[in-house]
Structure 1
Amino acid sequence: MISTATFPQSGTLRRRILGSLIALGAATSLGTPGTSQAQTELKLGHVGNPGSLFQISADEFAKRANAKLGDKYKIVVFGSSQLGGDKEMLQKLKLGTIDMVVPSTVMSSEVDMFGLFEMPYIVKDRDHMKRIEKEIFWPKIAPAAEEKGLTILAVWENGYRHITNNKNPIVKPADLHGVKLRTPKGKWRIKMFQEYGANPSPMSFSELFSALQTGVMDGQENPLTQIYSAKLQEVQKYLSLSAHVYTPAYVTVGTKRYAKLPADVRKILEDTARENQAYVYEQAAKADEELLGKLKDAGMQVNEVDKDAFIAASKAIYEEFGEEVDGAQELISRAIELGKQ
């Protein structure tokens, strides 16, 4: 050990020598050839708050994958929009500044075919979704995302979306007339609520609570897990169980950056992400049962909606999607057919 008593008394020279020794120590701690290196972090981002299905799903995936990855790679989860909103994170994926994202609705603004999951009432239940995933998503939709520089590793869940607001219970589309409604950044969701007579505006999820609290927005639509975990029950009076859209969530990576990972690491990530789906669906079903009671206990007034009225009001959005997006009508027809099995 070198004693500081032996250093020259000149302050400047003494600081230079100390700086050199600190730098040398830092370099040594980073390791030399043949020594173990620090783990490479793989950043996974999502917009969900603590307690959301996003958070539960991502944390379980990270736990399972990290147990298999060893000491070279480690998934680190960043929730609550810490890495940006969905749109920002997808851009960062393409730029290669983050590694993984779990987006939902926003994918329809990146790849037109994802608009299939914006069609009202097209997904009947999770078993139907599994058939759609196998017969439509992987053969048709995932390759379209790949062309845009986004690779999908697995399909998880955001959930069945319901409408909340501070104006009145929503039973029929006419009850939405004039309601300022926050939507995610997906054009078909906006078009849908315009058809229903609402005044929809896209907004990042991280800004939603404040917008509802201040009256900038009257209402919003989200799965129960998002509503409860974001504490929207504190700033919303009415919960209308519309279940108007089932939204999957997609474990997504940037195609170019992902290709640079070792093949064995990619296999672990892909296998674990797909295996995690069963856990995600289990947690989602559990939340559907538990959270409704908690939202009622928090003071929300809950009502059923006239789904036939909403389905009738959705005809135009199906027609527009089928006409505007190449191959969309085929996807719609096949999804409906799969719902009859």
Structure 2
Amino acid sequence: MTIRILATAAVSALIAGQAMAADMTLRFGHVGNPGSLFEATAEHFAECANAALGETAEVQTFGSSQLGNDQEMLQKLKLGQVQFALPSSVMSSVDDRFGVFEMPYIIKDRDHMRRVQAEMMDTFEQAANDKGYTIVGLAENGFRHITNNLRPINVPADLDGVKLRTPNGSWRVKMFQQYGANPTPMSFSDVFTALQTGVIDGQENPYAQIASAKFQEVQDYLSITGHVYTPAYILASKKHFDGLPEEMQATLKDCASQTQDFTYEHAAQLEVDLLEEIKAAGVEVNEADKDAFIEASRPVYDAFAAEVEGGGELIDQVLALGGSS
């Protein structure tokens, strides 16, 4: 009888221990493929957090849309099924204020983004809080460029009629409509097949996403436009994150800050290395006329200022922080 009691107690303790471990598992989902900047960002954050948290909790990463696309993961954050996600452009659909980063050419470089972060982060944190999220830290998706199978894109008129995949963000759609393209919002995980089968002609992404998704295998032209710089957000449910012990919150925020430094440095290097990789795959590369794109972008700025409450002020604040880097 004593042995049976001890055995039962041991099994109960094991089950309780497993339940406790599961309770402290923090799932981090993102849409990045192996080799992407998103993967490197999530892995850096997890390594930092796991080293600092010890046995208290474990951050586990799930890339390649294993936990869903960006929209699905935003919902899963609120349901507590995912603890961290790494959304980028989709945040403009969460709150209009994030749409300021969808304005073409508004962010000059990473130093400019640092200044925006230092001076304006309260605005974006409040926007996230209003929708039930909290920004644990910033990363990036980088400067975006256009690939397609029809022709080199030198000026906006070259986009006339091009079926171009965009993320699910209304301002990216409006921007490419203004340029004359036929923008088609689509989940990132569906893009390769859509390009391969000709459902769409092209897409726009940073080199890290282009190369890791192997778009160079199904695209003929890369046009260096740098039309949008997209921050990425290490995002959590406000309710869930606020419920963590304060010491753990501080640790996770510190790791997010360290990860931002890593991401910026890694992204800058990828811009050099991956452009060469894309060229080596036989993709024809051209430098677009950025002045022509900037001129064609004015109506997008005007629309944002008119349609978004405080939109004009947001644009002015971001531009004023451009300075000289």
Query: Which residue of the partner structure matches residue 95 of structure 2?
Result: 111
Structure 2 runs not aligned, ≥5 long: 1-5
Determine the C-alpha separation between the residues in 2 that align with 1:163 and 1:172. Answer: 12
| Aligned residue in 1 for 2:187 | 204
Q: What residue is the counterpart of 1:214 in the other structure? A: 197
SS at match of 2:21: coil
**Cα distance 1:263–1:181, how it changes in 2: closer, same or farther (>3 A)?**
same
What is the alpha-carbon distance in structure 2 between the residues aligned to residue 280 and residue 23 of structure 1?
49
Q: Secondary structure at the match of 1:122?
A: coil
Query: Is 1:27–2:26 an aligned residue pair?
Result: no
Q: Distance in 1 between matches of 2:168 and 2:149?
A: 22
Scaled by the length of structure 1, what TM-score is found? 0.90
Q: Of the candidates 303, 307, 312, which is equivalent to residue 286 of structure 2?
A: 303
Matched, 1:86 2:60: no
Alignment map for 1:215-254 (pairs within 5 Å): 215-254=198-237
| Residue-by-residue CA offset, 1:96-141 (whole Å, 9 max, x unaligned) | 22100010000000010000100000000100110011112x1212
What displacement does 1:25 show?
6.3
Determine which structure has more spread, i.e. the larger CA radius of gyration: 1
1 CA distance for matches of 2:127 and 2:318?
17
> What amino acid does structure 2 have at the position aligned with 1:248?
P
Corresponding residue for residue 41 of structure 2: 57
Is 2:320 the counterpart of 1:337? yes
Offset at 1:170?
0.3
Residues 214 and 24 of structure 1: CA distance in aligned 2, closer, same or farther (over 3 Å):
farther
What residue is the counterpart of 1:163 in the other structure? 146
**Residue 142 of structure 1 pairs with residue 125 of structure 2:** yes
Secondary structure of the 1:155 match is: strand
**Cα drift, residue 36 of structure 1:** 11
Post-superposition shift, 1:27? Answer: 2.6
Give a deviation string over 1:26-73, Cα, whole Å, max 9, x none: 4342258xx995362100000000000000011011001100101020
TM-score after normalising by structure 2: 0.95
Distance 1:257 1:293 in 2: 42
Q: CA RMSD in A?
A: 2.0
Quick one: percent identity of the two aligned structures?
Answer: 55
Matched to 1:132, the amino acid is: V
Letter matched to residue 277 of structure 2: K
Alpha-carbon distance change, 27 to 161 in structure 1, aligned in 2, over 3 angstroms:
same
- Alpha-carbon distance change, 229 to 36 in structure 1, aligned in 2, over 3 angstroms: closer
1:326 to 293, 309, 323: 309
Partner of 1:100: 84
CA distance in 2, matches of 1:27, 1:132: 52
Alignment gaps of 5+ in structure 1: 1-20
Q: Counterpart of 2:3? A: none
| Residues 1:262 and 1:203: Cα distance change in structure 2 (over 3 Å) | same
Give the 3-state SS of the residue equivalent to 1:38 in structure 2.
helix
Within a 5 Å distance, the mapping from 1:120-131 to structure 2 comes to 120-131=104-115
Paired residues in the alignment total 320
